[in-house]
């Protein structure tokens, strides 16, 4: 097996995995609508670990934006060990996300949430035979997200897409929910478009550090892509909210820095100004957006539902860099598939 074979296959099969996940969401949409979070709960909480915590950050931001219901994200360990700084009075809906469905911290967080009667639990996972799938009042299972590699790619984007579908349904946005069906083709188009660019950027040894900028519902995705770069290629990598980059981190920019912008449409010009500052400091920039950027999705989809399209680009840069450094992204250094605590 050559290095990264599993990761490569998992990244390129994301469009099919998304289509399968959207089929699950379509089939369970009535159960999801019946939850009626905006009427029945004080807040929605999302939780996970590592990648699935970053997924929770992105999901909470979009859910609140679309539904108006307060939504927050916590690492599972925080909900488990510091519950008093997490919960507010009133019934909550907890959405627990875990690829494996057996990460100890996530199981403990859910157990504590239910034991303390904070509200109802909805679980999202890839494995229906693992503990998490059996804990929730409702559980959604996405087998198409299963993967061999330790570093999440297909699992992340598939589970994340499910939360985008949930936010659309809970906001009563049937228009957004139905246009999700166009994402697999849009994702395929992005994957094909960025093969040359990522094949060039990944192995570029003149780059020694990465910064990932994203705001609003894209900040959690910037965190995830930064983690991918760390896990797969052992490179220095950090995520920031776009304009936050000026408040200190900008001092780190050198000609060997690559700043990747998950640029929005709604605040695209303000975000572009940050990237222009980076260029003026001699740093390198990769801007990704719907249009007018180096990587352009041209999906013609609403901004609220197309954020998943940023993921394959960052995943491929990390994959190519990992392989060019002689590493094996299928088996990242020091990492296990699942973190289990005694």
Q: Up-side HSE of residue 76: CA atoms within 13 Å toward CB?
A: 28
Task: Tell me how long the chain is.
Answer: 342
Residue bearing tokens 């998490």: 132
Which of 11, 56, 79, 99 touches ligand F1P (CB under 6 A)?
99
In which element (H, E) is residue 54 found?
helix 51-67
Asked if residue 234 binds ligand F1P (CB under 6 A), the reply is no
Quote the radius of gyration of the chain (alpha carbons, Å). Answer: 19
Binding mask 188-227 for ligand F1P (x = CB under 6 A): ----------------------------------------
**DSSP type of residue 127:** -
Residue among 228, 220, 217, 207 at smallest CA distance from 332 = 228
The window from 50-58, 78-86, 137-145, 185-193 that contacts ligand F1P (CB under 6 A) reads 50-58
Q: Does residue 51 bind ligand F1P (CB under 6 A)?
A: yes
Instruction: With contacts defined by CB under 6 A, name the span among 1-9, 16-24, 43-51, 321-329 that binds ligand F1P.
Output: 43-51
Order of strands across the sheet with 92-98? 71-75, 43-48, 92-98, 119-125, 138-141
Closest residue to ligand F1P, Cβ-based?
Answer: 50
Among 103, 168, 226, 233, binds ligand F1P (CB under 6 A): 103
**Residues in contact with ligand F1P, shown as a per-residue x/- string from 313 to 332 under the rule CB under 6 A:** --------------------
Indicate whether 150 belongs to the interface with ligand F1P (CB under 6 A): yes
CA distance 95 to 105: 14
Contact set with ligand F1P (CB under 6 A)? 48-52, 98-100, 103, 106, 150-152, 335, 337-339
């Amino acid at each position: 097996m050559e290095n990264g074979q599993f990761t490569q296959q998992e990244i390129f099969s994301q469009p099919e995995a998304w289509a399968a996940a959207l089929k699950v969401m379509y089939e369970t949409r009535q159960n999801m609508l019946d939850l009626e979070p905006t009427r029945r709960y004080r807040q929605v909480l999302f939780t996970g670990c590592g990648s699935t915590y970053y997924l929770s950050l992105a999901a909470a931001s979009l859910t609140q934006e679309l539904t108006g219901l307060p939504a927050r994200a916590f690492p599972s360990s925080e909900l488990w060990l510091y519950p008093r700084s997490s919960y507010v009075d009133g019934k909550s809906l907890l959405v627990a996300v875990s690829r494996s469905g057996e990460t100890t911290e996530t199981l403990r967080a859910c157990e504590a949430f239910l034991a303390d009667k904070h509200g109802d639990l909805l679980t999202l996972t890839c494995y229906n035979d693992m503990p998490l799938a059996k804990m929730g009042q409702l559980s959604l299972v996405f087998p198409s997200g299963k993967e061999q590699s330790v570093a999440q790619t297909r699992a992340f984007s598939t589970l994340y897409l499910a939360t985008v579908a949930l936010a659309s349904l809970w906001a009563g946005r049937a228009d957004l929910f139905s246009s999700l069906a166009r994402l697999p083709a849009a994702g395929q188009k992005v994957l094909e478009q960025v093969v040359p660019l990522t094949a060039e950027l990944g192995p570029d040894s003149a780059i020694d550090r990465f910064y990932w900028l994203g705001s609003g519902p894209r900040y959690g995705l910037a965190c995830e892509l930064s983690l991918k770069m760390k896990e797969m290629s052992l490179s220095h990598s950090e995520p920031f909210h776009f304009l936050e980059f000026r408040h200190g981190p900008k001092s780190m920019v050198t000609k060997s820095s690559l700043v990747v912008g998950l640029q929005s449409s709604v605040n695209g010009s303000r975000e572009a100004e940050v990237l222009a500052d980076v260029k003026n400091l001699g740093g390198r920039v990769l801007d990704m957006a719907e249009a007018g950027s180096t990587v352009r999705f041209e999906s013609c989809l609403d901004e609220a539902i197309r954020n998943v399209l940023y993921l394959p680009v960052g995943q491929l840069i990390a994959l190519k860099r990992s392989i060019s450094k002689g590493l094996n992204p299928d088996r990242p250094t020091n990492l296990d598939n699942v973190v289990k605590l005694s």
